[in-house]
Structure 1
Amino acid sequence: MGNTLKTTVLLAGLTALVLVIGDRLGGPQGLLFAGLFAVVMNFGSYWFSDRIALAIHGARPLPYEQAPWLHDMVARLASRAGMPKPKVYILPTAAPNAFATGRNPSHAAIAVTAGLMELLDRRELEGVLAHELGHVRNRDTLIGTVAATLAGIISYAAQMLFWFGGSMLSRGDNDERGGLGSAFANLGLLLVAPIAATLLQLAVSRSREYGADQTGAELAGDPDALANALLKLERSAEAIPYDKAPATSHLFIVNPLHRGGVMALFSTHPPIPERVRRLRELGARLGARTGGRGGWEYAY
């Protein structure tokens, strides 16, 4: 409930930024245009985001005959989650990672990289797949798309204003204040708005990752396996970064554009050590309830 409330507030903040920019640039007409534009963009994202994301990364369907055990694993986890089995895709890259996409559980897909299948053992891989199914069940794929779309609209509006700037920046308000003061106010808004939009989008993404970690750990019944997988993936992201389509980096289970230092503040993902800490604590609680046996009940 806390994550749901936080996400709702953050998405409302992004929407408000879109409307404020529209109002500052065009008054009532700009406000109306901004609202309609946001609706149209989100409608398109809702219906086509899965195809776009998969096509951008060159994902192709993974035939059942090529990895029957992987398909069976996804089917079993989907059954536990009470939803249809998503389509399974593979990305032809050595960088180990995975993401989920689709507007709802009935139209979902999970994509894994070739590097992921080579790096992780099957227990860890099940934890990663469960995490991605957690995103689908929690409707994070839709939320992430809406957040990215709204943030994109704000950034695009700022870019257009700077390209076609002057007259718009000096547009007076409906009252008599107008002039230079109004121009500086508009300029300040358009400098700050893209940064604020980015930070709000990052907050949505980070909040959703924690939720998917918990949901995935509960689906697989083995939080420690997911924690181990995250540690391996973090080290691999440093060694083999994946910089194709940076705008989609928030979709992946770990940030494919590994950045350290100050840039970590602008990461679409929460810190791996914190995610691992929470999973270890969850694993300890599950272990206590199962008499120390753990929750992973399948041997391969």
Structure 2
Amino acid sequence: MTGNTLRTFALLAGMTALFMGIGFLLGGTAGALIALVFAGGMNLFAWWNSGDMVLRMHGAREIRGDENDPALRQYFADTQHLARKAQMPAPRVYVIASQQPNAFATGRDPSHAAVAATEGLLRALSREEVQGVMAHELAHVKNRDTLTMTVTATLAGAIAMLANFAIFFGGNNRAGFLGSLALMILAPLAAGLVQSAISRTREYEADRVGAEIHGNPMALASALEKIERMARGMVNEEAERNPATAHMFIIHPLNGQRMDNLFSTHPDTANRIDRLRQMAGTAAMVRSGPWGPRGPWG
């Protein structure tokens, strides 16, 4: 088990503990147990319905290889090709009617996965850049990040909901009215920070694996640079209505609202691009070496 995986499990455990802690403050030991059962039920629901749930939130439309639009046919065919290259099941392919260039992957496992790109992304990026983005999303599927990110979003939303309940029962719980008020503010904040930490951990790894799947790290680097620049000036309406899903996108989709930058769910794009450039440089050095791409023992 990698360090990133261990860290993700630890953060998810912390979020579950926070959920139980709120339950304890609201109803003592019984409240904590109810919260634990509730969290387990939500995680099971999220595991089974994660793909369709997020796709419906963003109004995604499934596409196939017989689309009338040549760009959509190309997008579908390239995604299928990349999945074969990554030796994984072909995901369902979706398009979202948003002008902001962005994309995400979802699904409980590689056999029940889906990738979605916005119309804005397909128009703004070159074919190779779109391939780089899709390779990144397939990396999330291959690494089983999609389930982790959906469960995280479900828990974060539930923590915010439970914390809001606390203020209505402020005089009848262990925290009291002022404690309940603090809980209503701080608990969602803590959940958001944990959610952000989980997402940042997984994005770097998906960049690396995605670049390996595609074969050209600079295609993804170029795509990230374009998406970051354009997304800052566009509002993604569906993402604004469902902020708990923001961490699933390749670039933070809430950049149209300045306050959303305060707790970004993504690592700094410049750092991601630098890492991809380093990958490209290393690959170029190997290819140009005196023994070719596999070294003297190839």
CA distance in 2, matches of 1:195, 1:79: 41
By how many angstroms is 1:226 displaced? 0.2
Query: Distance between the aligned counterparts of 2:4 and 2:104, measured in 1?
Result: 20
Indicate which of 244, 249, 265 corresponds to 1:247: 244
Matching residue within 193, 215, 218 for 1:221: 215
Residues of 1 paired with 2:60 and 2:259: CA distance? Answer: 32
Distance 1:260 1:152, change over 3 A: closer
TM-score (norm 1): 0.88
Task: Identify which of 279, 282, 286 aligns with 2:283.
Answer: 286
Q: 1:56 to 1:241 in 2, by over 3 A?
A: same
| Mapped pair 1:89 → 2:90 | no
Match of 2:194 in 1: 200
What is the letter of the counterpart of residue 212 of structure 1?
A: A
Q: Give the secondary structure class of the aligned counterpart of 1:239.
A: coil
8 Å Cα contact 1:259-1:267 kept in structure 2:
no
Contact 2:236 2:256 in 1 (8 A): no
Three-state SS of the structure 1 residue aligned to 2:59 is: coil
- Are 2:53 and 1:74 equivalent residues in the alignment? no
Compare 250-259 and 60-69 and name the one that shifted more. Answer: 60-69
Distance 1:229 1:74 in 2: 16
CA distances 1:247-283 after superposition (whole Å, capped 9, x unpaired): 2211111111116877534011111111111111111
Structure 1 residue corresponding to 2:141, chosen from 136, 145, 148: 136
Contact 2:234 2:256 in 1 (8 A): no
Is 1:24 matched with 2:18? no
Q: Is the 8 A contact 2:129 2:219 kept in 1?
A: yes
Q: 1:25: Cα distance to partner?
A: 1.9
Contact 2:156 2:244 in 1 (8 A): no
Separation of aligned partners in 2, 1:159 and 1:189: 8
State the match for 2:130 in structure 1: 125
> What is the deviation of 1:147?
1.2
Deviations 1:9-48 (A, max 9, x none): 1111101111222222212211110110001111111111
1:231 to 207, 211, 225: 225
> Which of 258, 261, 265 is residue 264 of structure 1 equivalent to?
261
Does residue 114 of structure 1 match 2:119?
A: yes
The 1-side partners of 2:162 and 2:258 are apart by 30
TM-score by length of 2: 0.88
Report the count of equivalent residues: 282
Alignment of 1:167-186 (within 5 A): 167-169=172-174
3-state SS of paired residue (2:90): coil
- Return 5+ residue gaps in structure 1 as ranges: 172-182, 296-300
How far apart, CA to CA, are the structure 1 residues paired with 2:23 and 2:53? Answer: 27
Q: What is the Cα-based RMSD across aligned positions, in Å?
A: 2.1
Task: Give identity over the alignment, percent.
Answer: 47
- CA drift of 1:110 comes to 0.7
- 1:154 deviates by 1.6
Is 2:7 the counterpart of 1:6?
Answer: yes
1:98–1:253 Cα contact (<8 Å) kept: yes
**Structure 2: segments with no counterpart, 5+ residues:** 294-298
- Matched with 1:56 is 57
The answer to whether the aligner puts 1:147 opposite 2:147 as a matched pair is no
Q: Secondary structure at the match of 1:28?
A: helix
Is the 1:14–1:200 Cα contact (8 Å) retained in structure 2?
yes
